[in-house]
Homo-oligomer: A and B are copies of this chain.
């Protein structure tokens, strides 16, 4: 019951892309170097994001990833579900219908009480993630990161892009 590191990477990358001018494409190479993570594996997470429309891709030289829509319209739940899938954290195998004391099948019309409680908890988790957008994240980040650091990052980024032309 632990989320993989792809989730963390995807969120940081999405947050990063959302903080850039939207005509500024960043390649997997640069994103991987910036976050110091394995390039090809990070690419897989970004592919999931692209499939969900959270990021857009442009191929060819000077290409790369850009944010897919407004940061206010991207929730953390979108990112989690695009990378991790949408299956619930709990799956009911209906063991109440198993064993020597089971009743006839039609007697089990309602949802199992245990499963219902687990689904409620799963729903609470998802609602919490849905209530936070990338815009919220970036606002909180902006409050603690000094402007000088942002300039430094932009300079590094543009150095990376120009060196490739």
A84 to B118, CA, bound (A): 14
With a CB–CB cut-off of 8 A, which chain B residues contact A33?
99-100
- A112-141 residues with Cβ-Cβ distance < 8 A to B are 113-114, 116-118, 120-129, 132, 136-137, 140-141
A71 to B116, CA, bound (A): 18
Residue A98 at the chain B interface, CB threshold 8 Å: yes
Rounded to whole Å, the gap between the CB of A99 and the closest CB of chain B is 4
How many copies of the shown chain assemble into the complex? 2
**Pairwise interchain contact A156-B101, C-beta atoms closer than 8 A:** yes
* A59 CB-CB contact with B under 8 Å: no
CB of B137 within 8 A of CB of A128, answer no
A-side residues, CB < 8 A to B, are 1-5, 7-9, 11-12, 15, 33-37, 76, 80, 84, 87-93, 95-96, 98-101, 103, 107, 110, 113-114, 116-118, 120-129, 132, 136-137, 140-141, 144, 146, 149, 152-153, 156
